[in-house]
Amino acid sequence: MSKLKIKDLTLIFGKEKEKALSLLKQGKTKAEILSETGCTVAVKNASFDIEEGEFFVIMGLSGSGKSSLLRCLNRLIEPTSGSVVLNERNITSLADLELQAVRRKEMAMVFQNFGLLPHRTVLENVAFGLELQDIPKEEREEKAKAVIDLVSLGGYENQHTGELSGGMQQRVGLARALANDPEILLMDEAFSALDPLIRTQMQDELIDLQEKMHRTIVFITHDLDEAIRLGDRIAIMKDGEIIQIGTPEDILTNPATDYVSSFVEKVDRKSIVTAASLMFDKPTVAIFKKDGVEGSLRKMRASGLTSLPAVSVDKAFLGFVYLKDLLELKAQKEHTIEKAIIRDIPVAYAETTVEQMLPFIAENGRAVPVVDEKTNKLIGIVAQTSLLIETTGASWENVTGNTIDNLQKEIV
């Protein structure tokens, strides 16, 4: 059961919302609606479900409507149409008092510019959400202190927030949201105002925290690297529309539109792309005992390779055989390839990342075998070429045989 369901959420700014909405239903574009009614379509028919405990990232550039969409979830901005359903309850149709209760207990928000109260101390800021619920001072400060420790702010309780650095202030912002013990955490560009080093550190800490607390998080960012680091799933927005939703790897390997690919190109893929998505899953193999020396040589000749992975009859990975070794065996009139198999070769698993596989080709310039973690069966082969392309960021189209051959020769 999904925790949060967003269905056909549309947000229009302007005076003639109704007219703009009906034009939108007729399939008119944003530009047409703007010229006809003077209304801006900020979010257009956004629909997605977020699972319990999921870290859901909405990524888009400024003006893409991502922050407006987030504000529709707790109705800081009233959506024009569509529904937001939290725990089977439609947030969009709640009365003021019920909405207030939802904001107090079920959703808490972290802001880009922190939104802290400068005239209060860290402790008072963190306890602020509880104070609004009229929870007695002692009880709320006790809870606040526990959360302050959780975000490593211990010792800063009595400082005024204005005296803290940006990173520290955002910890206060995060602690304030967590103190309410919300089911859903809404984070609006929470780390965007921080400098890069602090941002990475905060991302790491958020990941650690999330491993402990398993909240449902909706995180807004304009930075795809951040989205990929943090998100279980990512929704990419452009001009008020969600153009792709998927896991980080989905987005990187199968960008839905040119717009998405233009982002993906700039991303550091090494730590995201896995062996499973790079490998050739039906490699030519030498099957030990079934293929003899002659059979293996024939396979090599047919595929134009100088080495083959060797597997047992049940496909378990054994090692590699090389052309020169097989030729030697042939000269010695050997029939089985046993002596030519080079064993103890490092293997990758399906989820091994490019970054982790790089040392393999640095060590020995051969392809990387990918095996099943449990059964040791060979499931594919990652060619050096693929690894090099991933690492250097070159695209397949640009890589003409010549340059790659040169690279390969240098390595082998």
Within 184-213, the residues that bind another protein by CB under 8 A are: 186
Residues 301, 304: Cα–Cα separation, whole Å:
5
Among 109, 174, 308, 378, binds another protein (CB under 8 A): 109
Q: What is the DSSP track for 49-101?
A: EEETT-EEEEE--TTSSHHHHHHHHTTSS--SEEEEEETTEEGGG--HHHHHH
Among 48, 111, 156, 360, binds another protein (CB under 8 A): 111
Q: Which residue has the tokens 């609006």?
A: 188
Cα separation, 65 vs 45, whole angstroms? 12
- Rounded to the nearest whole angstrom, what is the least distance from the CB of residue 75 to another protein in the complex? 9
**What's the closest the beta carbon of residue 133 comes to another protein, in angstroms?**
7
Q: How far is CA 21 from CA 37, 39, 76, 133, 147, in A?
A: 10, 9, 20, 37, 43
User: Nearest-CA neighbor of 43 among 219, 256, 235, 193?
Assistant: 235
127-156: which residues touch another protein (CB under 8 A)? 128-129, 131-133
Nearer to another protein among residue 19 and residue 104 (C-beta): 104
Kindly report the backbone phi and psi dihedral angles of residue 167, in degrees, each rounded to the nearest multiple of 5, phi listed first.
-60, -40
Please say which residue, 17 or 104, places its beta carbon nearer to another protein: 104
Closest CA to 10 of 47, 54, 32, 43: 43
Among residues 11, 12, 108, 245, which is the contact residue for another protein, using CB under 8 A? 108
CB nearer to another protein: give 102 or 148.
Answer: 102
Query: 86, 102 in Cβ contact below 8 A?
Result: yes
Give the interface segment with another protein, choosing from 95-103, 293-301, 367-375, 382-390 (CB under 8 A). Answer: 95-103
**124 versus 239: smaller Cβ distance to another protein:** 124
Span from 44-52, 109-117, 250-258, 347-355 in contact with another protein (CB under 8 A): 109-117
Stretch that binds another protein, among 79-87, 112-120, 333-341, 392-400 (CB under 8 A): 112-120
3-state helix, strand, coil in the chain (%, to 5): 40, 25, 35
Q: Out of 55, 114, 263, 317, point to the residue binding another protein (CB under 8 A).
A: 114
- CB nearer another protein, residue 105 or residue 315: 105
Among 363, 333, 329, 411, CA closest to 310: 329
Number of residues that bind another protein (CB under 8 A): 30
104 forms part of the interface with another protein (CB under 8 A) = yes
**72 is a contact residue toward another protein (CB under 8 A):** no
* Binding status of residue 74 toward another protein by CB under 8 A: yes
Strands (E), 111-240: 184-188, 216-221, 233-238
DSSP assigned state of 364: S
Q: Which of 34, 61, 85, 117 binds another protein (CB under 8 A)?
A: 117
Select the residue interacting with another protein from 10, 64, 180, 296 (CB under 8 A).
180
Residue 70 CB, shortest distance to another protein, in Å, is 10
Spell out the residues 6+ positions from residue 359 whose beta carbon is closer than 8 angstroms to its own.
none
Given the rule CB under 8 A, which of 45-53, 97-105, 227-235, 364-372 is the region that contacts another protein? Answer: 97-105
Binding mask 21-60 for another protein (x = CB under 8 A): ----------------------------------------
Beta-bridge mates of residue 48: 6
- Distance, CA of 79 to CA of 44 (rounded, Å): 10
Classify burial at 362, counting beta carbons within 10 Å of its beta carbon; exposed 0-12, middle 13-18, buried 19 or more.
exposed
- 47, 100, 262, 375: residue in contact with another protein (rule CB under 8 A): 100
CB of 86 to another protein, least distance (A): 14
Name the site residues for another protein (rule: CB under 8 A). Answer: 74, 76, 99-105, 107-109, 111-119, 128-129, 131-133, 173, 176, 180, 186
